[in-house]
Copies of this chain bind each other. A is one copy, B any other.
Amino acid sequence: MPEQTVRWAGGLDGHIQIIDQTLLPAEFKVLALQTAEQVWEAIKVLRVRGAPAIGVAAGMGVVLGIRSAPDDEDEVLERVAKTADYLATSRPTAVNLFWALERMKRVADEHRGEGGAAIKQTLLAEAKDIRDDDARMCRTIGQAGQHLITEGCGVLTHCNAGGLATAEYGTALAPMYRAHELGRHFRVYADETRPLLQGARLTMWELGQAGIDCTLICDNTAAVVMRQGKVDLVIVGADRIAAGGDVANKIGTYGVAVLAKHHGVPFYVAAPSSTFDLSLDSGDAIPIEERGSEEVTHGFGRQTAPDGCKVYSPAFDVTPASLVAGIITERGLIEKPTRERIAEVLG
């Protein structure tokens, strides 16, 4: 469970430390981010990624954007708004990004009248709280889902919703870490997750570090391991969940959910409550980021498709609630999610 995914080092004149995930698994490097622009870039190019971790980095990014402002309160509040608007343009799909930025703006507003210097310190404390809250939530998700990981079972996961996608511990991987702590033995199959291979590079790395038995497969092999009876359940993370339980997550998740249904394998989603966007009725309303074609055609440092060929590369897809056996949140497991059950748990 990597604890260095994203954290604040020092006081108000400190910096954000992140693991540069674009370099894993070949190189483990901790970067120091000193400006909001560096945070924007780190989110954009996926040095820090995973919906919860993006939220944490963005919250801390607000602090970097305001700390050099004069201590005049109006000036600080204006810089909070401006920095939050700017960081919100880094990526469109993960709702935790907007949630964290709103939280920072709201807290700044609540402390109006205390003066610019105090607000800066308050926001630093708030950003650290977002991180610590996330770590705590992830541990709680782990506990809420650990009973699903039974002795000897096989679990398939897609992309990386582990400690590298959160402050620590992860969402989809949290029940696995918790079951491992409890001494249970199980096998994990990790989809490599094209185009950016977060499963191969990140999930395999962090599960390996933790000593959990994991096997890497190409995305197109998930159907085969399910047919062979090697997969007892699927757990994935989420970037945004609509009010009715439709789940936006890494491209390929929807396909895995369809395959799971065909093979009678329950499909679970693990996510903190900040991932829910109750303003959206259905998953169709979730904006889906499209990535550049180079990630598909030149993704590995070598050209693997003809010059100028057409590519369709959405970064996410939406899995309808009807395919979801349950959503594991820090407030408990929402089985067969419906609008009513979700409202009840999140209420």
Kindly report which residue of chain B lies nearest to residue A307, judged by CB atoms: B25
A44 to chain B, nearest CB (A): 20
What are the residues of chain B within 8 A of A163 when measuring CB–CB? none
Kindly report which residue of chain B lies nearest to residue A208, judged by CB atoms: B306
Q: Is A193's CB within 8 Å of the partner chain B?
A: yes
A41 to chain B, nearest CB (A): 22
Q: Is A333's CB within 8 Å of the partner chain B?
A: no
Chain A contact residues, majority secondary structure: mixed
Q: Is A215's CB within 8 Å of the partner chain B?
A: yes
Q: What are the interface flags for A293-327 relative to B under an 8 Å C-beta threshold, 1 for contact and 0 otherwise?
A: 10011011111111101111110010000000000
Knowing A216-B311, A312-B215, A313-B218 touch, does A297 contact B259 (C-beta < 8 A)? Answer: no
Q: Judging by beta carbons under 8 Å apart, are B225 and A254 in contact?
A: no
Q: Please provide the 4 A-B residue pairs with the shortest distance between their CB atoms, ordered closest to farther.
A: A300-B300, A220-B252, A223-B255, A194-B218
User: Within the complex, which residue of B158, B252, B259, B310 is in contact with A218, where a contact is CB–CB below 8 Å?
Assistant: B252
Instruction: Pull 17 A–B residue pairs with CB atoms less than 8 Å apart, ordered by A.
Output: A194-B218, A194-B219, A194-B220, A204-B306, A213-B310, A214-B309, A215-B310, A215-B311, A217-B312, A217-B313, A218-B313, A222-B255, A224-B317, A258-B262, A300-B302, A300-B304, A301-B301
Q: Is A191's CB within 8 Å of the partner chain B?
A: yes
Q: In whole angstroms, what is the CA distance A222 to B313 when docked?
A: 11
User: Within the complex, which residue of B208, B215, B254 is in contact with A227, where a contact is CB–CB below 8 Å?
Assistant: B254
Which of A85-93, A119-127, A131-139, A195-203 lies at the binding interface? Answer: A195-203
Knowing A216-B296, A223-B254 touch, does A309 contact B194 (C-beta < 8 A)? Answer: no
Q: Judging by beta carbons under 8 Å apart, are A223 and B317 in contact?
A: yes
Question: A224-260: which have CB < 8 Å to B?
Answer: 224-225, 227, 251-252, 254-256, 258-259
What are the residues of chain B within 8 A of A293 when measuring CB–CB? 216
A290 to chain B, nearest CB (A): 11
Q: Judging by beta carbons under 8 Å apart, are B258 and A312 in contact?
A: no
Total residues of chain A contacting the partner, CB 8 A: 57
Q: Is A186's CB within 8 Å of the partner chain B?
A: no
Residues of A within 8 A of B (CB): 25-26, 158, 189, 191-195, 197, 200-201, 204-205, 208, 213-225, 227, 251-252, 254-256, 258-259, 261-262, 293, 296-297, 299-307, 309-314, 317
One complex includes copies of this chain to the number of 2
Q: In whole angstroms, what is the CA distance A252 to B205 when docked?
A: 24
Give the residue among A191, A213, A317 with the most B Cβ atoms within 10 A: A317
Q: In whole angstroms, what is the CA distance A215 to B308 when docked?
A: 11
User: Within the complex, which residue of B192, B227, B251 is in contact with A305, where a contact is CB–CB below 8 Å?
Assistant: B192
Q: In whole angstroms, what is the CA distance A252 to B158 when docked?
A: 16
Kindly report which residue of chain B lies nearest to residue A298, judged by CB atoms: B300
Give the residue among A221, A227, A296 with the most B Cβ atoms within 10 A: A221
A193 to chain B, nearest CB (A): 7
What are the residues of chain B within 8 A of A158 when measuring CB–CB? 220
Q: Judging by beta carbons under 8 Å apart, are B251 and A218 in contact?
A: yes
What are the residues of chain B within 8 A of A305 when measuring CB–CB? 25, 192, 197, 200-201, 204, 216
What are the residues of chain B within 8 A of A223 when measuring CB–CB? 252, 254-255, 258, 317
What are the residues of chain B within 8 A of A254 when measuring CB–CB? 223-224, 227
A256 to chain B, nearest CB (A): 8
